[in-house]
Amino acid sequence: MRTDFLPYALPSIGEEEIAEVVDSLRSGWLTTGPKVQRLERDLAAYLGARHTLAVSSCTAALHIALTALGIGPGDEVIVPTMTFCSTANVVVHLGARPILVDVGPDFNVTAGAIEAALTPRTRAIVPVHYGGQPCDLDAIYRLATRHRLPVVQDAAHAVGAHYQGAKIGSDALAAPRSVVCFSFYAIKNMTTGEGGAIATAEDKLAEKMRLLTLHGMSRDAWKRYTGAGSWYYEVVLPGYKDNMTDIQAALGIHQLRKLDGFIEVRRRYARLYDDAFAALPEVETPPVRPGRSHVYHLYPIRLALDRLTIDRSQFIEELRARGIGSSVHFVPVHLHPFYASEFGYCPGDLPCAEDLYRRIISLPLYPAMTEDDVADVIQAVFDVVQRFRKTKEGVS
Ligand SMILES: Cc1ncc(COP(=O)(O)O)c(C=O)c1O
C-alpha cells in the first residue's frame, strides 16, 4: 500500500518552462507579446495548420469560433452529452440551443446520433475528441458537407492526436468552415496554466476570430506599446478579452517541444494498464479504434458492475483508501440541473452516455508518474476488484 497519495493528475513543468517565465517577467511583456506570436508559429508548424491563435482557454476558443460562425438566438448546435460543461455552455452564452446527443461505447459521438438530431435550425456541429481519441471525422464531415454545416472540433484532449495519419488541427483534415479548439489547462497533455488555441485553414474566419480575441481592435493592436506600433486603433466589432499572455506562452513554447515525448509516456503507461487489466473481467479498458492515434489524455476504465458488489463511487473511495486519486469524465451534460430544467432533458434520454457514466473511472495517467506509480494503481485496482468481486455466494 502507498504511503503517499497519488494525485489523479499533475503537470510536468521543467526548468526550461520556469526560466522562460522568469524571462517574461524580467522582459516587461506580461501580456500578449512576442512569446505568444512564437507559440502560435510553433503550433502552426507542429500541427501543419495555416492559422493558429493562442487564447485564454479552450472555452474561449469554442465561444470565439461559434461567434465568428454567426451562431445566435434561434440556432441549434449539436454537442455530445459526454463532455465537459463548457462545450455546451458556450452555445447557451450565444443565445442558441445546445442539442445534446448520445455517444458510442468508445465515448465519442456517432454520426448517426448527429444525423438524428438535425433540424432546419441546426447551424453547427461540435464533436469532441473524447479522452484524446479522434472521433469519426470522415462520417461527421460527410454529414456536415451534405447539410452545409460548419464543424467546430472540441479537441481539448487531443493536441498531437492523428486521424487517418493526419494531425487533428492540420490543414490536411480541414473542411469548409472547420475550426479546431485545443485546451492547455493545467492538467492537459500540454499546459500553459490556463490557455488554449484555435486552428483553422480559413483566412476570413481566422481574421475574424483574431479580432474577437482582443476587443475587436484592428490588426496587431497588441503592438501599440512597442516602437513598431501606433497608439491608434479602431474597434471593428465588439470583441472579447480572450487573449493569451506571454507568461502563459512562455510555458507553452517548452511544453509544445516536449509534447510528443509526453504522449509517448502516456501511451506506454496506457499499454501497461491495458495488459494488466486484460486479466480482470470486471474492468473494461478504453476501446481503441483503427485509423486513429490516441494521445490518452484520459484513461477511463469501465466497471462491469454486474460482477462487483460495489458501485462506481464506492470503487473510487476504495481507490482513495489505497492512496490512489481518480476522477469521472464526465457527468453527462444533460443530467446537470441547468440543462435538465432549461431544456427538459431527463434521465434515460441518452442511454449509452448514462450507462458509461455509471461505470467509468479515469485512472491517473500522466508523464510525471513513474512506472512504480503505474504499478501501484494496477495493484490498487486488482485489490479492490478481488475484495469486492461477486461470487456465487456473494462477496468474495
Ligand atoms: C472536452 C472539454 N472541452 C472543453 C474544455 C474546456 O477547456 P478549458 O479549461 O481550457 O476552457 C475541457 C476542459 O476540461 C474539456 O475537457
Return the pLDDT at 228. 73
The rounded distance, in Å, linking the Cα atoms of 101 and 113 is: 6
Q: What is the mean pLDDT of residues 26-39?
A: 95
Cα 58 to ligand 1 centroid, rounded to whole Å: 6
- pLDDT tens digits, one per residue of 248-269: 999 999 999 999 999 999 999 9
Res. 221 pLDDT band, cuts 50 70 90: low
Instruction: Give the separation between CA 287 and CA 267, rounded to whole angstroms.
Output: 14
Q: Are 125 and 114 in contact (CB under 8 A)?
A: yes
Per-residue pLDDT for 1 more than 80?
no
- Nearest-atom number in ligand 1 for the CA of 188 is 14
- Inter-residue contact 29 to 246 (CB < 8 Å): yes
pLDDT at 227: 74
Q: How much of the chain, in percent, has pLDDT values that exceed 70?
A: 97
β-partners of residue 292 are: 163
Q: Assess whether pLDDT exceeds 60 at residue 368.
A: yes
Average pLDDT over every residue of 346-370: 98
Read off the pLDDT band of 220 (50, 70, 90).
low
Q: Which of 56, 59, 188 is the best mutation target for the ligand 1 pocket, counting ligand atoms within 8 Å of the beta carbon and taking the most?
A: 59
> Which residue's CA lies nearest to atom 14 of ligand 1?
84
Q: Tens digit of pLDDT for each residue in 140-175? A: 999 999 999 999 999 999 999 999 999 999 999 999
pLDDT at 396 over 70: no
Pocket probe for ligand 1: among 100, 128, 183, the residue whose CB has the most ligand atoms within 8 Å is: 183
Note the pLDDT tens digit of each residue in 6-24.
999 999 999 999 999 999 9
Q: Is the pLDDT of residue 350 over 90?
A: yes
Residue in the structure block whose three cell numbers are 440551443: 97
Cα–Cα distances in Å, from 380 out to 98, 183, 361, 374? 39, 30, 13, 10
Three cell numbers at 362?
Answer: 479515469
186 Cα to the center of ligand 1, angstroms: 11
| pTM for this entry | 0.96
Residue nearest to atom 15 of ligand 1 (CA): 84
The answer to whether 349 and 334 have CB atoms below 8 angstroms apart is yes
Which residue has its alpha carbon closest to ligand 1 atom 7?
Answer: 58
Output the pLDDT for position 219. 65
Measuring CA to CA, which residue among 182, 181, 184, 162 is closest to residue 173? Answer: 162
Average pLDDT over residues 231-243: 91
pLDDT at residue 364 tops 70 = yes
Residue 232 is predicted with a pLDDT of 83
pLDDT at 393 over 90: no
Q: How far apart are CA 155 and CA 196, in angstroms?
A: 10
Query: Inter-axis angle of helices 58-68 and 85-93, to 10 degrees?
Result: 40
Q: Are 250 and 17 in contact (CB under 8 A)?
A: yes
What mean pLDDT is predicted for residues 188-211? 97
pLDDT given at position 2: 86
Which atom of ligand 1 approaches the CA of 330 most closely? Answer: 16
Predicted confidence (pLDDT) at residue 392 exceeds the cutoff of 90: no
Which residues form the pocket of ligand 1, taking CB atoms under 6 Å from any ligand atom? Answer: 57-59, 83-84, 86-87, 128, 154, 156-157, 183, 185, 196
Give strand pairing partners of 76: 97, 122
Told to judge if 392 belongs to the known catalytic residues of this protein, a careful annotator would answer no
Q: Give the pLDDT confidence of 68-117 residue by residue, as tens digits.
A: 999 999 999 999 999 999 999 999 999 999 999 999 999 999 999 999 99
Centre of ligand 1 to C-alpha 289, Å, is: 23
pLDDT at 384: 98
Q: What is the atom index within ligand 1 of the atom nearest the CA of 154?
A: 3
User: Does residue 395 register a pLDDT over 80?
Assistant: no
pLDDT band at 231 (very low <50, low <70, confident <90, very high): confident
Q: Which of 167, 188, 258, 392 is the catalytic position?
A: 188
For residues 258 and 56, give the distance between their C-alpha atoms in angstroms, rounded to a whole number.
21
Q: What is the pLDDT of residue 394?
A: 54
pLDDT of amino acid 117: 98
Residue 312: how many CA atoms within 13 Å on its side-chain side? Answer: 22
